[in-house]
């Protein structure tokens, strides 16, 4: 298997060197950037399988880098590096399109575990989708609506649309409630009531006319969560 490449965007030389050494020791190819502007340029250039992104950076901060990276259409996985106790930064990062976060100070073992987990989830990174047809229903994410048989249309709330879009983009695999909470709601799933996801799925099934006992659109995967299609 070819080595994965990780781009480390961190302005502190000592921290960056420690991260780079740990990644190289684990078998990764590593690229480095010491500020947000050069980090964004390197990330947009392609070639990186994952980006480790500090938030407090010169020239462009991590939020700006993440926002511009996603606006460019890049789906490269991003793990943000945040200061301890800055929960609002973690939530903002996840809502902005980050895949995970690591809180400073962190151990090499924790960092590598996070990197490996995100790369596993992103092995087949989904493309962005604007609409999808499944089991006779057409879901239009731009219009936030579902068109059923006989031209019956159901409107979707913003959250319902985001949930369906994430499921459709990952239709090849089962999604856990914890992953959905993190990627759609931008919440740390630890200590959060996962019934939130179940309730939204129940409402979506009503709008989709998707019978829970014989679902055609959103299937329940026992012990895991849900799968689309």
Question: Tens of pLDDT along 107-137?
Answer: 999 999 989 988 887 655 555 567 888 889 9
In the structure encoding, which two tokens stand for residue 48, read together?
A: 């990186």
As beta bridge partners, residue 221 has 225
Task: Give the whole-angstrom CA distance, residue 211 versus residue 43.
Answer: 43
- Structural fold of domain 131-228: Arc Repressor Mutant, subunit A (1.10.10)
Average confidence score pLDDT of the chain = 86
* Arithmetic mean of pLDDT, 186-198: 74
As a whole-number percent, the residues of the chain with pLDDT over 70 amount to 91
Q: Tell me the DSSP string of 171-194.
A: TTS-EEHHHHIIIII----TTS-T
* Arithmetic mean of pLDDT, 152-170: 89
| Domain residue ranges of the chain, discontinuous segments joined by + | 5-121, 131-228
* CATH architecture, domain 5-121: 3-Layer(aba) Sandwich (3.40)
pTM of structure = 0.56
In the structure encoding, which two tokens stand for residue 51, read together?
A: 């980006």
Structure confidence at residue 88 as a pLDDT band (50, 70, 90): confident
Task: Give the whole-angstrom CA distance, residue 27 versus residue 32.
Answer: 16
Task: Give the whole-angstrom CA distance, residue 85 versus residue 155.
Answer: 39
Structure confidence at residue 6 as a pLDDT band (50, 70, 90): very high
Mean pLDDT lowest among 16-30, 190-204, 207-221: 190-204
């Amino acid at each position: 298997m070819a080595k994965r490449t990780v781009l480390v965007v961190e302005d502190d030389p000592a921290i960056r060197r420690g991260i780079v050494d740990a990644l190289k020791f684990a078998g990764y190819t590593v690229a480095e950037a010491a500020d947000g502007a050069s980090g964004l340029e390197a990330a947009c250039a392609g070639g990186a399988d994952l980006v480790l992104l500090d938030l407090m950076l010169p020239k462009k901060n991590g939020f700006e880098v993440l926002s511009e990276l996603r606006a460019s259409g890049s789906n490269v996985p991003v793990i943000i590096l945040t200061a301890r106790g800055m929960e609002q930064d973690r939530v903002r990062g996840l809502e902005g399109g980050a895949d995970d976060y690591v809180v400073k100070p962190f151990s090499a073992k924790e960092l590598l575990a996070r990197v490996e987990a995100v790369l596993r989830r992103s092995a087949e990174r989904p493309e962005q989708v604007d609409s999808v047809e499944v089991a006779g229903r057409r879901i239009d994410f731009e219009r936030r609506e579902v068109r059923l048989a006989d031209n019956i249309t159901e409107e979707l709330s913003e959250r319902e649309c985001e949930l369906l879009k994430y499921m459709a983009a990952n239709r090849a695999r089962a999604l856990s409630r914890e992953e959905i909470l993190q990627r759609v709601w931008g919440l740390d799933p630890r200590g959060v009531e996962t019934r939130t996801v179940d309730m939204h799925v129940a409402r979506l099934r009503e709008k989709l006319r998707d019978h829970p006992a014989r679902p055609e659109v959103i299937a329940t995967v026992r012990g895991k969560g849900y799968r689309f299609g």
